Every structure is written in structure tokens, then in C-alpha cells.
């Protein structure tokens, strides 16, 4: 961004705080908590949302009770104050989804990224 070779940056908070660049819009569903005066691209008429997400996965055939225990443990872990402070320091927003909600989200993301996944060689389900 600073060299003029890029026109888009993913970590808007750091760009503002560290480099003093002004954020014009965010590619998120909702406005970012520490940049509430900055509109989303959707608000500006561009249907663009960019998210970086992660999740916990288990091998196929893992017993449902084990998956339930893991999901519940993850749900508790994301409430930990030290974890949340570390994520905030890294400019990461935390949004926990239980097992069923994450499966739905993953399926939607997977389907939406189908063409890209084919290009990089990921086989479909």
C-alpha cells in the first residue's frame, strides 16, 4: 500500500494504526468495531465481502458425542479473556459457530468458492 503497488489491504485496522493510512471502506458484512465511521463496501453499493475464517475439523466417522464435546470445548475456549485479548491485539474478530452452524457456514463457503477451488486443485466432496 505504501509503495503504491497495491490498492487493497486486508488488515484495515493495522493500516490505520501502524501506517497512518485512511481506510475508505471495509469488505465486511458489518462495520468494523474500531472503525465505525468507515462504511462497508455493501453500503457503497458493491456486493463484496472478504473474510478469513478458520475452524476445527475431525476425521470422517468421528462419533457424534466426541464431535459434540469438541464443539462445546471450542465454544468455551473462545470466551477466554486472554484468548479474546490476543485476538483483539492481532486485529481478529471472533465469531463462534457451534457444530451445526459451522457446517452450514462451511458448506456455503465451499460452494461459493467452487471455481477457485478447482483452479487450485482441490477436489470436490
As a three-state string, the secondary structure of 31-49 is CCHHHCCCCECCCCCCCCC
* Res 39 pLDDT > 90: yes
Reported as type and span, the H/E element at residue 111 is helix 99-112
Give the number of residues written for the chain: 125
* Res 79 pLDDT > 90: yes
Whether residue 110 contacts residue 117, with contact meaning beta carbons closer than 8 Å, is answered with: yes
Q: Can you list the positions of beta strands (E) in 1-124?
A: none
pTM confidence score: 0.64
* 92 confidence band (pLDDT: 50, 70, 90): confident
% of the chain beyond a pLDDT of 90: 37
Amino acid at each position: 500500500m505504501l509503495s503504491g503497488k497495491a490498492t487493497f489491504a486486508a488488515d484495515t485496522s493495522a493500516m490505520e494504526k501502524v501506517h497512518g493510512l485512511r481506510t475508505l471502506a471495509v469488505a465486511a458484512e458489518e462495520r468494523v468495531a474500531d472503525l465505525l465511521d468507515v462504511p462497508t463496501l455493501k453500503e457503497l453499493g458493491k456486493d463484496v465481502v472478504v473474510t478469513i475464517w478458520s475452524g476445527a475439523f475431525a476425521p470422517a466417522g468421528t462419533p457424534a458425542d466426541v464431535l459434540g464435546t469438541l464443539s462445546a470445548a471450542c465454544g468455551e475456549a473462545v470466551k477466554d479473556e486472554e484468548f479474546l485479548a490476543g485476538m483483539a491485539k492481532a486485529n481478529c474478530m471472533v465469531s463462534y459457530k457451534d457444530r451445526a452452524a459451522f457446517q452450514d457456514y462451511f458448506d456455503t463457503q465451499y460452494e461459493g468458492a467452487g471455481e477457485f477451488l478447482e483452479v487450485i486443485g482441490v477436489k470436490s466432496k
